[in-house]
Structure 1
Amino acid sequence: MGFAFLYQVGILLLKFVLGIGSLFNAKMKRGVKGRKGLLRNLENSFADLSQGRPVAWFHAASLGEFEQGRPVIELFRVAYPQHFIVLTFFSPSGYDVRSNYQGADYICYQPLDTQANASKFVSILNPEIVFFIKYEFWFNYLRALREKGAIVISFSTIFRPDQVFFKFYGGFYRKLLGYFSHILVQNQQSLDLLGKIGIKSCSIAGDTRFDRVRSIAASVRQLPEIISFTENSYCLVAGSVWQADMDVLIPALNALTTPIKAIFAPHEIRKEQMEKWSRELAGECILYSEYIRHKQNTTFQYLIIDNVGMLSSLYRYGNSAYIGGAFGSGLHNILEAATFKLPIIFGNQKYDKFQEAIDLVAQGGAQTVSNAAELSLILNALSTDPQLNERMGAISQAYVISHTGATASVMNEVRRLLRR
């Protein structure tokens, strides 16, 4: 039984699981509902929408990958204004937040990667050029795009020796990589790994996330209510936190001999969870939605953000940052905090797949913690030693600045391929 057959079966099983899961999970339900009738509607309307313009299709798995790819989308728009830009998402967490993004002409879910869906979707779009951001390797789509003769680019991609592409049984997955016109990787290790399996259409461009976070820093929202909250106090911004992170953060903050202020931005907005955190924190705590109605009151010690989309602007007002995820499924984006010159703290478990986290720990701009006691110690040190705080923050910011420029490298390759 070949891997291609198993892949097709796996996609059908995914469809079944999402269908069953949508009965019990709101996020899955949004994804299933968003794909319902999508191909039929596209078939009836896409020609009128695109009006014969050449199509550029960008695909992001979720919100994080979209933000990573956004600098390329926006520079492509400037360089090739005649193209009709289609943006697709796999996950509702990306589509829900960016379905009104003005940088694309049409935004929708990516239909699941069945043979029929991929063939139909590619036939309708007939894209001239396609961009898959970071970790997107869809067999049926890649094969359909090859048959159509489209230019297919993967960028900000990173490879590790333990991935299936480099195993003795990974022939099917290596074949997927051969469908790309060019793969733009983040580092030398990735380039070397591709070379060892015979992939020649590849080069180093870097990670476009660095360009994105620098642009965020240059255009960050003004939040006067956050200035009022911090009121010249030392403030920790805890971004993309889960319950596992709060299990460490709450006792660490409660144990500080000199209290600090903190802003918590949950990865998922769940009322019951936020209320639980409020009860467990020793200092006075308030939700952001309530705080903006009482912003003259500056006695609150803790602020919980109960909306989506503010985090990147919040880092500007912090003195240090704790980034969530490492105690769970994996570390979230640390670069948004680093670009604002903040010392970075995160859990000591699942961060080894993130080169920037490894680098910043090694260079001294970030520190890992394994428990509340360790976190309390580092927070006490940072909040009472301005020189330590400044030194770690400067390392973080310098690291981001030194790694910008990937977007320009991607666009250079785009120009070469389109000329060809």
Structure 2
Amino acid sequence: MLRLIYTLLWLLILPVALLRLVWRSRKEPGYVQNIGERLGRYDDIPREGPWLWVHAVSVGETRAAQPLIDSLLAAYPGHRLLLTHMTPTGRQTGAQLYGGNPRIQQCYLPYDMPWLVRRFLAYFRPEAGLIMETEVWPNLVHVTRRAGVPLFLVNARLSPRSYRRTARFGSAAASLYNDFTMVLAQTAGDAERYRALGVRAVQVTGNLKFDMQAPEAGMARGQALRRAFGGRQVLAAASTREGEEPLILEAFSRWPGAQRPLLLLVPRHPQRFDEVAGMATRSGFSVQRRSALDLDGPEAEVSADILLGDSMGEMAMYYAASDIAYIGGSLIPLGGQNLIEACAIGTPVLMGLHTFNFAQATEDAIAAGACLRVANADELMRAAAEVLADRSRLAEMRANALTFAGLHRGATVRTLGALAPVLR
């Protein structure tokens, strides 16, 4: 009954959802491209399989899936891989990672109505589906199970906050998650919360993000960018979210140290690049943009107070060029973004109080000496100033970050092991 009500609501809001795509395309044109795919129309896409299907909703999930996708392609050479998304930035990230690979096909997942999901499954006939992290759509899960397609929730996480919300649905929540062949959880805490919901098939496999390898090209570009800074120290504010930049800019204007570093400001969403650039300029800072910087030129130089990271697919470069990085979404109650990529490159991190999306990883990084917790933007600047002023402490935190990232690798192997009985 709940699923029927949910489907009827989808019917009512479908025109609004389509209009929202048009509205969002004002800042991000990709939202009005390939709309037919969101309605289950894939006639322009080759359907020859056999297919393994991985769903990665947006940028973070697409990057996290990379080690798993690489391993699946190696382990199952007779299969092709269908990579689905919900956002243009996720699709663009997938294209940057896999563009030109003839065994990988990208498209959007259809909206969550039963007949659209059935059309998607009938067209591609995937042998198995892997849903990354938290993207649980009731009709998608139910229809896929009814179609006999094994479906796994991979790299799954369920914060205490999300658990409390989900538990309100009682047996309906348990029924939804039990339609998965298996839930492969990041941590023992995540697994415990899934079991408390009544989920039967749960296994702890670890966090795939620890298996992400820093691309050599990105590291080399990071050194080139570093040279353009002319020896200045660099504080990165990475994957910042709406509402955070004013706090960061105001606190940065009151930098507590003797010499203010360069601020490398990287908003999470590309449609906000112009907005954040204007915000920084109005705050009295000189601003340069990565998009206007030719790192291949002989005289690349960043002399401004702030370099705006207005590019996609270059986070490895930004982290490699930074001395220390604040990870966005954690000064305000949004749950924080991924700190693992920075640690894997050896960049110490600062996190706010709101890290429920990466709770275990954050606590482990703090315990390892790779991360410092700050309560607000002023404390963020004080902590950054103290670490940057102490060369030995900075070097120690760098080493701790690399050690922390290395100790937690292995989720890809464990995930493949859990999938093997079904995918054989």
- With the length of structure 2 as denominator, give the TM-score of the two structures: 0.88
- Say whether 1:343 aligns with 2:339: no
Look up the match of 1:216: 214
Look up the match of 1:326: 330
Look up the match of 1:60: 56
Separation (CA, whole Å) in 1 of partners of 2:76 and 2:352: 42
Superposed, which structure 2 residues align to 1:20-419 within 5 Å?
A: 20-26=19-25, 30-31=30-31, 33-36=33-36, 41-42=41-42, 44=43, 49-51=46-48, 53-99=49-95, 101-102=98-99, 103=101, 104-162=103-161, 163=163, 167=167, 169-212=169-212, 215-216=213-214, 220-223=218-221, 225-256=224-255, 257-269=258-270, 270-282=273-285, 284-292=286-294, 295-297=299-301, 299-328=303-332, 329-348=334-353, 350-354=354-358, 355-419=360-424
1:125-151 CA deviation, whole Å, 9 max, x = no partner? 111111111112122222222222212
Q: Is the 8 A contact 2:210 2:408 kept in 1?
A: yes
| SS of structure 2 residue aligned to 1:216 | coil
Q: Is the 8 A contact 1:165 1:171 kept in 2?
A: no
Q: Is the 8 A contact 2:57 2:86 kept in 1?
A: yes
Q: Is the 8 A contact 2:40 2:119 kept in 1?
A: no
1:148-179 CA deviation, whole Å, 9 max, x = no partner? 22121111102244426862532222111111
Percent same amino acid among aligned pairs? 22
Separation (CA, whole Å) in 1 of partners of 2:37 and 2:225: 43
Q: Is the 8 A contact 1:185 1:204 kept in 2?
A: yes
| SS of structure 2 residue aligned to 1:176 | helix
1:41 shift after superposition: 4.8
1:283-329 CA deviation, whole Å, 9 max, x = no partner? x4322233327944454443212222212222112110111112343
Q: 1:415 to 1:217 in 2, by over 3 A?
A: same
Q: Is the 8 A contact 1:18 1:28 kept in 2?
A: no
* Equivalent position amino acid for 2:62 in 1: F
* Equivalent position amino acid for 1:220 in 2: G
Runs of 4+ aligned residues of structure 1 deviating over 4 Å after TM superposition are 37-41
| SS of structure 1 residue aligned to 2:362 | helix
1:77 shift after superposition: 0.5
Separation (CA, whole Å) in 2 of partners of 1:281 and 1:247: 12
Q: Is the 8 A contact 1:118 1:144 kept in 2?
A: yes
Q: Is the 8 A contact 1:89 1:108 kept in 2?
A: yes
Q: 1:254 to 1:107 in 2, by over 3 A?
A: same
Q: 1:363 to 1:167 in 2, by over 3 A?
A: same
Separation (CA, whole Å) in 1 of partners of 2:249 and 2:299: 24
Q: 1:295 to 1:242 in 2, by over 3 A?
A: farther
* Equivalent position amino acid for 1:236 in 2: L
Q: 1:372 to 1:176 in 2, by over 3 A?
A: closer
| SS of structure 1 residue aligned to 2:366 | helix
- With the length of structure 1 as denominator, give the TM-score of the two structures: 0.88
* Equivalent position amino acid for 1:273 in 2: V
Q: Is the 8 A contact 1:165 1:173 kept in 2?
A: no
Q: Is the 8 A contact 1:210 1:401 kept in 2?
A: yes
| SS of structure 2 residue aligned to 1:370 | coil
1:76 shift after superposition: 0.4
Separation (CA, whole Å) in 2 of partners of 1:298 and 1:267: 21
Q: 1:12 to 1:362 in 2, by over 3 A?
A: farther
Separation (CA, whole Å) in 2 of partners of 1:130 and 1:187: 21
Separation (CA, whole Å) in 2 of partners of 1:14 and 1:327: 33
Q: 1:62 to 1:339 in 2, by over 3 A?
A: same
1:408 shift after superposition: 0.5
Separation (CA, whole Å) in 2 of partners of 1:312 and 1:34: 29
Q: Is the 8 A contact 1:217 1:340 kept in 2?
A: no
* Equivalent position amino acid for 1:368 in 2: R
| SS of structure 2 residue aligned to 1:180 | coil
Aligned length: 410
